[in-house]
Amino acid sequence: MLSLRRRLVLIHLAATVATVGVTAAAGWWQLSRSVRGQLDAALLALADTEVGMLSDAHGTAVRVHEAPAGSAPLSLTRLDRLVQIIDGDGRVLARSANLGGDRLPVPPLLLARLAAGDTSFDTLPDTREEPLRMVSVPAVVDGRRYAVQVAGSLDDADHILQSAALLFAAMATALLALVGWAGARLSRQTFVAMENIVDQARTIGDSSLDQRLPHPGHDDEIGHLADTLNAMLDRIEQAFEAQRRFTADASHELRSPLSRLRAEIEITLRRPRTDAEYVTTLRSCLAEVGGLTLLVEELLMLARLDAGQQLAQVELAPLSALAQETISRLRAPAAERRIEIILHDALADAVQVDRAPVGLVLRNLLENALKFSPADGHITVRLQRGAHGVMLSVEDQGMGIAEQDLPFLFERFFRGSSARAGEVDGVGLGLALSQAIMQACGGRIEAANLPTGGARFTLHLP
């Protein structure tokens, strides 16, 4: 099979040949009409002149008005023109000297047209040695019908048309060659640019995603294709980089508790311990295992969300009741830190939400607020309607969020300045998981600092 490049070149050449052929044929037809029209006009003018002289004869002998031989210089208007005057029955009354003993044909059909008063143009291909063009003009003089016939050679016109045909052929050939060369050059440039893109694309792998496809330098379809593919490579590179960071961070967060768990077990097994010491060690290991279990569950949920898997079956619950239930579960740990959780419900009617995801996100936001709130403070949960749905906000009285941390707050394994300093426990997955859950449900979470101090996390529910 032909390659795409060869097929396009052949299509281009076929279209070019058709265009040049149509153009040449149209030019030839126009020239042919022009040459034949000029010859017909010259013959008709001479015939009208003879008709006028015939009308002025007033009964004298009918004759062709041409100068006697040797009495005047040659007239170009009479040169190579055959003139014949006939009556209504087709009998020849007079003819020019250059006709000699010959006569111009007068077929019955021509006589009928002349009798009807029509001027007739005819082509005589087989008369004498060369084809002739003849005009027959009827005339009525003193009640009698006459006709003046004037014929001229088509040989000069045919020579002009032949020369024009050769000229058109040469011009068409040159134009075809020029257009073909230009088309081949343009197609070669186009396919060279495409081949460069293909060659570069073959060298890009998961370890060289920073490379980009070459741009042809033109704002055409190939340039748009290169820009689109490079934009796609940008997204793929960002996704790969995020996946690498996620894998590295997950490995680090899993390795740390496992290392602590192994170290504690090894230390305990170095020598015999009392029952109380074994119980203390087991409780410490159980706490580490609980943290690992929570981390693995969060990682598993994030992986499912990334894979586009749906959350569990929807179970609707009133938002006000769900918020009150979640707050009640966290009152005990809040009381230990002498923190009060206050609910402001401004919803006029019951709003049904998906219990599992919204409850999990609200619990994560409240636990996050408890971590960063000072003792003897309070956390405010507000329920209200917004322009595009329902808003649930959680406000604390902590130190707020550092400005440099705000853009990265919902990234996986990101921990703010105080958290990285070891002041707050956590692995940096809670907010990332909450944002991913809400985006899967069609909502989102926004974070901002309060003017009076503290932070506000606003949950937008569709």
Q: What is the pLDDT of residues 225-277, one digit of tens each?
A: 888 888 888 888 877 776 776 676 667 667 777 888 888 888 888 888 888 88
The pLDDT tens digits for 278-327 are 888 888 888 878 777 766 776 777 666 666 666 655 678 888 888 898 88
Q: Where does a domain end: 258, 283, 306?
A: 306
Query: Which residues are 448's β-sheet partners?
Result: 456
pTM recorded for the entire structure: 0.45
Q: Quick one: 336 and 435 in the same domain?
A: yes
Which CA distances in Å does 214 have to 194, 195, 200, 237?
Answer: 9, 10, 7, 17
Cβ neighbours of residue 285 closer than 8 Å, sequence gap 6 or more? 261, 264, 265
Average pLDDT of the residues of the chain: 78
In a domain, 429, yes or no: yes
Mean pLDDT, range 153-165, rounded to an integer? 73
Q: What is the pLDDT of residue 1?
A: 42
- Same domain, residue pair 19 and 155: yes
Residues 146 and 54 occupy one common structural domain:
yes
The answer to whether residue 206 sits within a structural domain is: no
Same domain, 323 and 354: yes
Q: Where are the beta strands (DSSP E) in 19-88?
A: 81-87
2 SS3 class: coil
Q: Cβ distance 89 to 98 under 8 Å?
A: no
Predicted pLDDT at 426: 55
pLDDT at 421: 39
Do 269 and 333 reside in the same domain of the chain?
no
Identify which of 356, 353, 354, 369 has the alpha carbon closest to the alpha carbon of residue 431. 369
Q: Is 232 part of a structural domain of the chain?
A: yes
Element (H, E) at 391: strand 389-395
Specify if 56 maps to a domain: yes
Output 183 or 319, whichever has higher pLDDT: 319
Measured between alpha carbons, how far is 37 from 73 in angstroms, rounded to an integer? 27
**pLDDT in the model for residue 160:** 72
Considering the domain architecture, whether residues 295 and 350 belong to the same structural domain is answered as: no
pLDDT for the residue numbered 75: 45
Please indicate, yes or no, whether residues 353 and 436 belong to a single structural domain of this protein: yes
Structural domain harbouring 272:
221-306
* Total domain count, the chain: 3
**Greater model confidence, 233 or 169:** 233
Q: What is the pLDDT of residue 179?
A: 72
Same domain? 12 vs 152: yes
Residues 149 and 13 occupy one common structural domain: yes
Give me the residues paired with residue 317 across strands. 353
Q: How far apart are the first and last CA of the chain?
A: 56
Q: How many C-beta neighbours within 10 Å does residue 227 have?
A: 14
User: What's the CATH number where 149 sits?
Assistant: 3.30.450.20
The last residue of a domain, from among 251, 282, 306 = 306
Q: Does residue 378 sit in helix, strand or coil?
A: strand
Percent of all residues in the chain with a pLDDT value above 90, rounded to a whole number: 2
Give pLDDT, residue 59. 61
List, in sequence order, every residue forming a beta bridge with 378; answer none if it has no partner.
Answer: 340
- Alpha carbon distance 132, 137 (integer Å): 16
Among residues 83, 145, 92, 150, which one has the least CA distance to residue 114? 145
Q: Is 153 found in the same domain as 11?
A: yes
Last residue of a domain, one of 159, 175, 204: 159
Co-location of 48 and 139 in the same domain: yes
The more confident residue out of 427 and 181 is: 181
12 and 148 share one domain? yes
